[in-house]
Amino acid sequence: MIGSLVATAFWAMVPAYVPNNAAVLAGGGRPIDGGREWRGARVLGDGKTWRGTAVGTLVGVVLALALNAVNDPASAALGVDLPTFSLPAAFALAFGAMCGDIGASFLKRRSGRERGAAFPGIDQLDFVAGALLFALVVDTGWTLDTFTLPVLAAVLVMTPVLHVVTNVGAYALGLKNEPW
């Protein structure tokens, strides 16, 4: 019961989890805000780039399609009816995750936090909020069918844990400047 919830929650969120990590690897180049400031601080900062956002989104969509391709064997192996992604849902999860993270950077800059500063709570869930909101808008039926209350609860418990583990790992590997 708990196992199938966690499996469903994880499967459904992979296209939202991976984009931010892909952006860390792909980042660089022109910042989205073009260096502009607003009220004495950068609008978003150098940590939000066009390339990171585009590559992150693309990786998330491709991954969703790859998961669809192995849905049957994976569902059979786990004994769980794993969700398949519609193309709009796949795009919304990936792009929504990137936008949630970008929105958090906007708030960080407004609250005097420099690039890379931690924003506990927000850092761990910004991309979940973005992903689910965008999915709800572009494919309401799929989102409500997939993210039932128990699945949503599993996502909210599991995500901060996974976020901390991946970021500490990426920091330890020298891929990221801060362990959050």
Q: Which of 48, 91, 93, 128 binds ligand CTP (CB under 6 A)?
A: 48
**Residue 23 in the binding site for ligand CTP (CB under 6 A):** yes
| Closest separation in Å from C-beta 9 to ligand CTP | 22
Closest residue by Cα to residue 104 from 25, 180, 27: 180
The nearer residue to ligand CTP, 27 or 83, going by C-beta atoms, is: 27
Strand partners, 37: 42
Under 8 Å between Cβ of 94 and 19: yes
**Following DSSP, what letter does each residue of 48-77 receive, concatenated?**
SBHHHHHHHHHHHHHHHHHHHHTHHHHHHH
Q: Which of 47, 60, 100, 130 binds ligand CTP (CB under 6 A)?
A: 47
- Return the range that interacts with ligand CTP (CB under 6 A); candidates 21-29, 75-83, 84-92, 154-162: 21-29
Distances (CA, A) of 155 to 9, 67, 69, 132, 134: 6, 18, 23, 11, 16
The contact set with K ion (CB under 5 A) reads 101
State the residues that interact with ligand CTP by CB under 6 A.
Answer: 23-24, 27, 45, 47-49, 52-53, 98, 101-102, 105, 108, 115-117
